A and B are shown apart, each in its own frame.
Chain A
Amino acid sequence: MYNVAEISEEACVANKGCRLCIMYCPEANCILMNDEKKVAFVVESRCKGCELCVVVCDAAKHKAIAMVNR
């Protein structure tokens, strides 16, 4: 069982230019943009579960990311 981040497509505000989780994720190519839907998504095989994206997303009051067990 792994602890990984999951981004809610409804709550994500990447279409307004937000890139907080992408900027502060310590893993490279882990949180990427879905250019068609204009939302961020997590590549689960690269996520180490550090929760930094949750911290920055919650601090900006978007609350779009939650940790889930896989």
Chain B
Amino acid sequence: MGREKIQINEEFWDIMPDDYKDLVNHSTYGKTDRGWKDVGSSTELIAEHSLCAGCPESIAFRHIMASMPAPEDTVMVGSTGCTSLVFPMVAVHNIHSLFGNQNAVATGLKRALNVRFPNKNKDVIVLAGDGATVDIGLDMTLQSWFRGERFTTICFDNELYANTGGQESGLMQKGFVAKMAPVGKKFEKVRLPEIARESGCAYVAVLTTSKPSLVERVVRQAVLIAREIGPTYLQIYTPCILEIGKQSMEGLQEMRDAEAAGERFKFREFITPEAQAFIDDMAAKKKAEKLASAAN
């Protein structure tokens, strides 16, 4: 897909919905330097969704959609949960998989895309909640990393099963009492980022979505490394404000609290030397290009 693929036939302009016309006129398809700075002055690749007012997950969605390096050549794989409410409203190809199967589906998809488009970069991004990634789909998630499949896995970690009323999940913090887990969690939060590093991921990052520039850098790196080197994993804290008993305007502060020094979502990343060399090489090339264009 690309800008030319979404063009409207001239005789249909008067009957197309305004949202689609905006997408054709003002979206950031086909731009190599797209990022969160385009937000507000261009049409985003996500439209009116049905998530709650003030949901941090939708902030994360906006930042990720704005940071993807090549949305026209990206296929996203989603899973059951609040994210599956948003995928119908996203202007990027996407697949809804069975609960937990997302990394297996993405594996087949990525291999098929490589066969079908051998000379093109096609990115696959898995975006699922913590239940799908860590509890129900842990087998598929880990096996895809063991095999070194080249796609990005993004986990929206809200530390419980929020969509179904607040049951305990593997990523819930120890001792947390949720609406449908009244005893409190008895064991520690699963250390999936460390597991990912040991399982063969070339790049792993843990963050919240309170800084768009950080989300942009991390998502870009993760997608580009997955394109060239190996699997990448991002764990993004998107608290469910309803289930942890916060007001709609308190989600941002909750994320900032969770990323303070010593807290569980303090920003950290693991990168293999090979991936680091690739990123440095890319930065050096970009710098050289900039110097060359400045000289002209």
With an 8 A cutoff between CB atoms, is B290 at the interface?
no
Contact across chains for A52 and B248 when beta carbons are under 8 A apart: yes
When distances are taken between beta carbons in the complex, the residues of chain A under 8 Å from B36 are: 23
Contact across chains for B249 and A29 when beta carbons are under 8 A apart: no
Contact across chains for B46 and A28 when beta carbons are under 8 A apart: yes
With an 8 A cutoff between CB atoms, is B245 at the interface?
no
With an 8 A cutoff between CB atoms, is A68 at the interface?
no
With an 8 A cutoff between CB atoms, is B59 at the interface?
yes
What CA separation (Å) do A56 and B44 show in the bound complex? 21
With an 8 A cutoff between CB atoms, is B41 at the interface?
yes
A50: contacting residue among B22, B41, B54, B62, CB under 8 A? B54
**Residue contacts A-B, CB under 8 angstroms, 26 given:** A19-B37, A19-B39, A26-B53, A26-B59, A26-B62, A26-B251, A27-B48, A27-B49, A28-B47, A28-B49, A28-B58, A29-B22, A29-B44, A32-B40, A33-B41, A46-B48, A48-B52, A48-B53, A48-B248, A50-B54, A51-B248, A51-B249, A52-B249, A55-B249, A55-B252, A56-B252
Give the B-binding residues of A (Cβ under 8 A).
Answer: 19, 22-29, 31-33, 35, 40, 46, 48-52, 54-56
Give the A-binding residues of B (Cβ under 8 A).
Answer: 22, 36-37, 39-41, 43-44, 46-49, 51-56, 58-59, 61-62, 65, 212, 248-249, 251-253
